[in-house]
């Protein structure tokens, strides 16, 4: 059973340090541990030297990848430009077509006489 004091003890820095040291103690007394760790480190270095890191595989492909990316960017840009032009042309044509069927009322915008009307008038004057 735990017995709590009424006035809790104030821990000093030394006591905190002592407990921390115990918690974080390295396996110092175990010599074989360090031998094992050393051999693991050296094995890791030897292995890493034999087989490059996974991203190293892509090292030779960097230039090709960059060129492909630039080409793809240029093609995408050209396609975008064409699509935009086509869109503008269609929009222009749509506006022009709709403008030709808009009824224009009033004498202020009198339609210019057509060629056939003009010819008929000339014929009546002459004959």
Where residue 52 falls (left for φ over 0; alpha for ψ -120 to 50; beta otherwise) is beta
Cα separation values, 45 from 35, 37, 59, 75, Å: 15, 12, 20, 45
For other proteins, which is the closer residue by CB, 8 or 103?
8
Residue 58 C-beta: closest distance to other proteins, Å:
18
Residues in contact with other proteins by CB under 8 A are 2-5, 8-13, 15-17, 19-28, 30, 34, 37-38, 40-42, 44-46, 48
In angstroms, rounded to a whole number, what is the distance separating the alpha carbons of residues 35 and 40?
A: 9
Lookup: tokens for 46: 């030897």
For other proteins, which is the closer residue by CB, 12 or 106?
12
Residue 62 C-beta: closest distance to other proteins, Å:
19
Residue 20 C-beta: closest distance to other proteins, Å:
5
For other proteins, which is the closer residue by CB, 10 or 97?
10
């Amino acid at each position: 059973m735990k017995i709590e004091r009424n006035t809790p003890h104030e821990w000093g820095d030394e006591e905190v340090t002592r407990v921390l040291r115990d918690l974080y103690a390295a396996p110092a007394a175990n010599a074989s541990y360090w031998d094992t760790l050393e051999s693991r480190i050296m094995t890791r270095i030897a292995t890493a030297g034999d087989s490059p890191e996974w991203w190293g595989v892509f090292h030779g492909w960097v230039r090709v990848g960059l060129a492909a990316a630039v080409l793809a960017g240029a093609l995408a840009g050209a396609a975008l430009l064409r699509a935009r032009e086509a869109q503008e042309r269609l929009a222009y044509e749509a506006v022009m077509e709709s403008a030709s069927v808009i009824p224009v009322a009033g004498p202020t915008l009198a339609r210019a006489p057509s060629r056939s009307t003009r010819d008929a008038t000339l014929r009546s004057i002459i004959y």
